């Protein structure tokens, strides 16, 4: 119990713009068969008839390919969230991410990553980034673990207030391009609450280092948390929460966004 308390404290203390929790980081070890290629799919869908059809859809696809000889894993993640009220776009965001990192075997190892992201409601037409972290393993056993990382990445963004889904339209706004190097701090933990129920969480804080560090103290802070309830070997229920805080945005939008949802996970 003391170790779980410490894990929760560190996860909350060390304040993602990306860095979504990976299913391979879960602590549910019911399947003892070692797979070289693992695919996970989380999805949710709803349709509500009002004056017009209100459609909501969310999905996350993860593919983990394990290299047996050198204990590395190549991770591909893709996520989309969309909502439509008839022909009106209420939400349109997502990302595609690729990572190459250690398969939790070494104490310290590089974590290489690149990502493409978009969010129409924010006016973020696209963001591309690439970077590398030093990933540290503090401990890992059959029931819990703790990892942290420090590194840098470079991102290029296009913010476009003329996008159809942009929710904060003002006539005076113009397209903004930004290129920013960032210091990236991460922490990740996972532990089993009981048989068939496990928790996985991560937090990222990313400091901008452009303009001679003038905005260094206005980092992005992301938290991602998931609880998985195993139903069968191939099916689980997933409860998810995340939030994104960023005080250094080029358009006049909210600083804090959060998301809570429930869905199903398919694994094969």
Interval 176-186: pLDDT, tens: 999 999 999 99
pTM, full prediction? 0.80
Residue 41 lies in a domain: no
Q: Stretch 202-215: mean pLDDT, rounded? A: 95
Q: Stretch 41-49: mean pLDDT, rounded? A: 74
* Predicted pLDDT of residue 7: 46
Residue 42 lies in a domain: no
Q: How confident is the model at residue 26 (pLDDT cuts 50, 70, 90)?
A: low
Q: Stretch 112-125: mean pLDDT, rounded? A: 94
Could you tell me which residues come within 8 angstroms of residue 190 by beta carbon, excluding any fewer than 6 positions away? Answer: 25, 26, 27, 144, 145, 198, 199, 200, 201
Computed on alpha carbons and rounded to an integer, the radius of gyration of the chain in Å comes to: 19
Alpha carbon separation from 108 to 15, 161, 248 (Å, rounded): 21, 42, 31
Contact 154, 131 (CB under 8 A): yes
Q: How confident is the model at residue 32 (pLDDT cuts 50, 70, 90)?
A: very low
* Predicted pLDDT of residue 164: 81
Residue 256 lies in a domain: yes
**How far, in Å, CA of 65 to CA of 74, rounded?**
5
The percent of residues above 70 in pLDDT, for the chain, comes to: 85
Burial zone of 210 (CB within 10 Å; 0-12 exposed, 13-18 middle, 19+ buried): middle
- How would you classify residue 114: left for phi > 0, otherwise alpha for psi between -120 and 50, otherwise beta? beta
Residue 241 lies in a domain: yes
* Predicted pLDDT of residue 51: 66
Q: Stretch 125-138: mean pLDDT, rounded? A: 96
pLDDT of 217 higher than 50:
yes
Q: How confident is the model at residue 212 (pLDDT cuts 50, 70, 90)?
A: very high
* Predicted pLDDT of residue 261: 82
pLDDT of 157 higher than 60:
yes
Core vs surface per residue 126-158: b (16+ CB within 10 A) or e: ebebebbbebbbeeeeeebbbbbbebebebebe
Residue 261 lies in a domain: yes
Q: Stretch 225-246: mean pLDDT, rounded? A: 91
pLDDT of 76 higher than 90:
yes
Interval 14-24: pLDDT, tens: 333 333 445 45
pLDDT of 131 higher than 50:
yes
Domain span including residue 192:
2-30+103-267
* Predicted pLDDT of residue 126: 96
Q: How high does pLDDT run on average in the chain?
A: 84
* Predicted pLDDT of residue 12: 41
Number of domains in the chain: 1
Q: Stretch 238-246: mean pLDDT, rounded? A: 92
**Pick from 123, 216, 111: nearest CA to 162:** 123
Q: Stretch 198-207: mean pLDDT, rounded? A: 95
* Predicted pLDDT of residue 16: 34
């Amino acid at each position: 119990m003391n170790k779980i308390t410490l894990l929760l404290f560190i996860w909350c203390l060390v304040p993602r713009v990306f860095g979504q929790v990976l299913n391979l980081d879960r602590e549910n070890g019911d399947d003892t068969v070692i797979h070289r290629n693992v695919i996970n799919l989380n999805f949710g869908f709803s349709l509500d008839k009002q004056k017009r059809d209100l459609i909501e859809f969310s999905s996350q696809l993860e593919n983990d390919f394990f290299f047996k000889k050198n204990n590395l894993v190549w991770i591909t993640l893709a996520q989309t969230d969309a909502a439509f009220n008839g022909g009106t776009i209420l939400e349109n965001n997502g990302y595609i991410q690729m990572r190459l990192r250690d398969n939790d075997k070494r104490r310290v190892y590089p974590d290489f990553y690149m990502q493409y992201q978009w969010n129409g409601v924010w006016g973020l037409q696209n963001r591309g980034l690439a970077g590398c972290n030093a990933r540290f393993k503090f401990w890992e056993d059959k029931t819990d673990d703790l990892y942290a990382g420090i590194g840098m990445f470079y991102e290029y963004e296009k913010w476009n207030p003329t996008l159809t889904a942009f929710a904060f339209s003002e006539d005076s706004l113009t397209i903004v391009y930004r290129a920013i190097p960032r210091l990236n701090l991460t922490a990740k933990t996972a532990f089993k609450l009981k048989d068939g129920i496990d928790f996985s969480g991560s937090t990222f804080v990313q400091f901008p280092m452009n303009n001679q560090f003038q905005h260094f103290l206005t980092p992005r802070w992301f938290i991602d948390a998931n609880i998985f309830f195993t139903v069968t070997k191939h099916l689980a229920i997933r409860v998810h929460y995340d939030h994104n805080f960023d005080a250094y945005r080029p358009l006049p939008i909210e600083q804090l966004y959060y998301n809570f949802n429930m869905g199903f996970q398919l694994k094969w």
